[in-house]
């Protein structure tokens, strides 16, 4: 299963944002075990680093991003992705770029807590909590 992780999902786990961090951590564990393949847009890495540097300091931000990049594949934000995002004509260009990158990666799900931001997408958009619940064996 291929998952595209929106920036907010990664920030949840990296900054331990309650109550969202647990579900985000489950998804990263799936990727780490090889039960799923994770993707992010290239600009997500720069955004994460900027926000983490402010929140936890340079050394911890570098370590966190290095660890993430060992787990996740990075989808380039290139000329075609930007044109694709512009053609989507969404109100929020950054969300359109995320969706264009997720489409390029041909993922099963775009995972975000801000599902309404992606309502114009052809992708299956799901929250971390919904995905974790769907993956849970019946009766648990």
Q: Are 88 and 96 in contact (CB under 8 A)?
A: yes
Distance between CA atoms of residues 35 and 73, nearest Å: 15
| pLDDT at 67 exceeding the cut of 70 | yes
Number of other residues whose CB lies within 10 A of the CB of residue 92: 13
Q: What are 41-56's pLDDT values in tens digits?
A: 999 999 999 999 999 9
Q: What is the pLDDT of residue 99?
A: 98
3-state secondary structure of 90: coil
Q: What are 86-115's pLDDT values in tens digits?
A: 999 999 999 999 999 999 999 999 999 999
Q: What are 3-33's pLDDT values in tens digits?
A: 999 999 999 999 999 999 999 999 999 999 9
| pLDDT at 139 exceeding the cut of 70 | no
Residue 56 CA from chain centroid, whole number: 20
| pTM confidence score | 0.95
What band does 136 get if pLDDT is binned at 50, 70 and 90?
Answer: confident
Domains assigned to the chain: 2-133 (3.40.50.1010)
3-state secondary structure of 46: helix
């Amino acid at each position: 299963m291929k998952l595209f992780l929106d920036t907010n999902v990664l920030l949840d786990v990296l900054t331990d944002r309650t109550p969202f961090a647990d579900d985000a951590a489950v998804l990263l564990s799936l990727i780490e075990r090889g039960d799923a393949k994770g993707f992010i847009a290239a600009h997500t890495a720069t955004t994460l680093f900027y926000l983490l540097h402010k929140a936890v300091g340079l050394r911890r931000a570098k370590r966190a991003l290095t660890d993430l990049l060992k787990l996740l594949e990075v989808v380039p934000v290139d000329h075609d992705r930007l044109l694709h995002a512009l053609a989507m004509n969404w109100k929020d260009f950054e969300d359109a770029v995320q969706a264009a990158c997720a489409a390029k990666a041909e993922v099963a799900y775009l995972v975000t807590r801000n599902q309404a931001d992606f309502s114009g997408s052809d992708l299956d958009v799901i929250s971390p909590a919904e995905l974790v619940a769907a993956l849970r064996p019946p009766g648990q």
